[in-house]
Structure 1
């Protein structure tokens, strides 16, 4: 019978996703410890947010039931990623670092963590969609890349809890030929265009739909962070790289921004929303053109693997197309491959939200637990 195992967890980031993840881990840890065949004891040994950190010099576990109040009560200031790496590398058991931030400095340190044998699980897109050299350094160090260090998984960096990366990986590994990937990769953009131009007709003014999306919490605090298309470009960069294309960064291919030039430099998100109605006529024109052709307009990302073309922006779709029929803030990713022919393999569902993103992170944690001994 396998011996019981002790695995240490370190968590950076306690915002929306971080909080949901820690709630899920509390339940998962209880279950794993009760496994009569091969119990795993998960212990949280470090918890960090931008302003402070909670840890013990002797690696004593942090209580999952009271982490919030214990972290608030901590008087220890923040640690740099290299200080965190040193602390974790000296731990008496294997460590999994869970980065629930979107912080570039933490992402830059992934190769360092991995080389020290610390596995990394994260929804943070920055490490996998930034410079190609960082991508190479991460997978050059990881045991599931070309290195001998820790393992790295980032399923939720593209589709929250949807199995997008694992599906693509399996297609590639089993020898299928991925020809084209196309989809709606942003819950915000999905909601926005499904209400701006519903298949059934109608829909409001673009500026009104942006305001509605913000009021419902679908956009970033400044909606320009969604409308510039960069979030989708980051996801496309990750998928393109996993498909074998050496994309340099998310700005090295065409990305259509929906921010009017005149509003790019206004001081605040509120001012942007106040002035956006001045530009509704431009979007009305695009909508009318699509209607004339019996189509709807959607904000999509696409990768054409043979021609190495990647692009993000508005495209028109027939009403019968799966992308046109999307509801609410769902994401849809279509894989056109040699095996699947003209009918793509489709993954569809909620592509944003704390619980489903944390589920993707928890799923990656299980992948690491199966691999480390």
Structure 2
């Protein structure tokens, strides 16, 4: 599970006052919230919740932050004025236990409760079905539930039949409405033909910058230094992350796809795949020759080089570095843009595009926050 990028005590210090439920005569929607994984995305989400709280309260929504759980410790009773007064606003920590955490957030007063998992951890995703079956809503940018074992995914969806809601928009392209767009198309009776997209903000940046003036290895070092890549850049270059996103979209479309079904073209040569990270970084120049050859091929054809994932209506999925014509929609992306193209019966000749920044903790947290609000807006109004 992700741990804090900054000291957790500092990240949480202002939260009890900002997110404490208020009292009053106005009938309000009330939602108890627990956040798991207060790292970069989780920390950005907590800051966004804090900033939005006054406006949400004016609009009749009370968000009661009941706890925050990191990998080894959790903080409960965030909105308990008595406890905070008794401990002079000191934080009360205890070892992380996700079952205890969920029970605490759920409470015993028939409240609406939600767990937000920003951890990117397999062990947390394994709890989703149980939480949903217990009536706890779940929101997450964690891809491991939507792209993990198909049996677990089916159990999660079955648990939603009990009435709790599961939203995961930020698993595909951060804050972009990709999953919701697909859902809307299908729910209104459209027929999916295929989905094609640039799903990796990291590889989009590398393709946009790779023009032959600098070696690919130099650009990769720059992206790594800027924090655009994963700590080990091979996690991006392998295409595995894009494959997970295709699996999530396929399952949303009712296709029983698993990761093993996705044809993935890794940009990491086999000789570099198993090396220690430090050794891999020292040998980055070995990436230059094959990628320069692909770039030259693109230029000869008058096209561009782009990292693309594709899913068709039969469940065939592929991730690769492709040469595309200069007239293609993907030829005009900027920086870390994600762009997803939906071709359907209605949008057969003029595909529907969703495009925008697809990487970074702020935009990912915003996607999570939007999912939280969609669930909150659907709740019954309570006193």
- Normalised by the length of structure 1, the TM-score is 0.89
Name which of 79, 83, 90 aligns with 2:100.
Answer: 83
Q: Structure 1 residue runs of 4+, over 2 Å off?
A: 1-6, 58-64, 81-92
Name which of 274, 277, 286 aligns with 1:278.
Answer: 286
In 1, Cα distance between the equivalents of 2:29 and 2:296? 62
Deviations 1:164-184 (A, max 9, x none): 111100000000111010010
Deviates more, 1:151-160 or 1:274-283: 274-283
Name which of 333, 345, 348 aligns with 2:352.
Answer: 345
In 2, Cα distance between the equivalents of 1:62 and 1:246? 50
* Alpha-carbon distance, 1:5 to partner: 3.0
Corresponding residue of 1:221? 231
Q: Secondary structure at the match of 1:308?
A: coil
Matched, 1:101 2:119: yes
In 1, Cα distance between the equivalents of 2:82 and 2:328? 50
Q: Secondary structure at the match of 2:331?
A: coil
In 2, Cα distance between the equivalents of 1:62 and 1:155? 37
Is there any run of 5+ residues in structure 2 with no aligned partner, and where? 1-24
Deviations 1:307-356 (A, max 9, x none): 32111111110111111121111100000111112211001000011111
Corresponding residue of 1:16? 40
In 2, Cα distance between the equivalents of 1:347 and 1:51? 38
Cα distance change, pair 63–207 in 1 and its aligned pair in 2 (3 A): farther
Matched, 1:185 2:192: no
- Are the aligned partners of 1:116 and 1:149 in contact in 2 as well (CA < 8 Å)? no
- Are the aligned partners of 1:43 and 1:62 in contact in 2 as well (CA < 8 Å)? no
Q: Secondary structure at the match of 1:324?
A: helix
Cα distance change, pair 351–99 in 1 and its aligned pair in 2 (3 A): same
Q: Secondary structure at the match of 1:245?
A: coil
- Are the aligned partners of 1:55 and 1:62 in contact in 2 as well (CA < 8 Å)? no
Deviations 1:124-148 (A, max 9, x none): 1111111111111111111xxxx11
Q: Secondary structure at the match of 1:87?
A: helix
In 2, Cα distance between the equivalents of 1:99 and 1:62? 27
Cα distance change, pair 98–257 in 1 and its aligned pair in 2 (3 A): same
Deviates more, 1:272-281 or 1:39-48: 272-281
* Alpha-carbon distance, 1:275 to partner: 0.4
- Normalised by the length of structure 2, the TM-score is 0.87
Is there any run of 5+ residues in structure 1 with no aligned partner, and where? none
* Alpha-carbon distance, 1:41 to partner: 1.6
Matched, 1:60 2:74: no
* Alpha-carbon distance, 1:278 to partner: 2.7
Matched, 1:4 2:22: no
Q: Secondary structure at the match of 2:203?
A: helix
Superposed CA RMSD: 2.2
Name which of 329, 333, 338 aligns with 2:336.
Answer: 329
Cα distance change, pair 121–63 in 1 and its aligned pair in 2 (3 A): farther
- Are the aligned partners of 1:43 and 1:61 in contact in 2 as well (CA < 8 Å)? no
| Matched residue count | 352
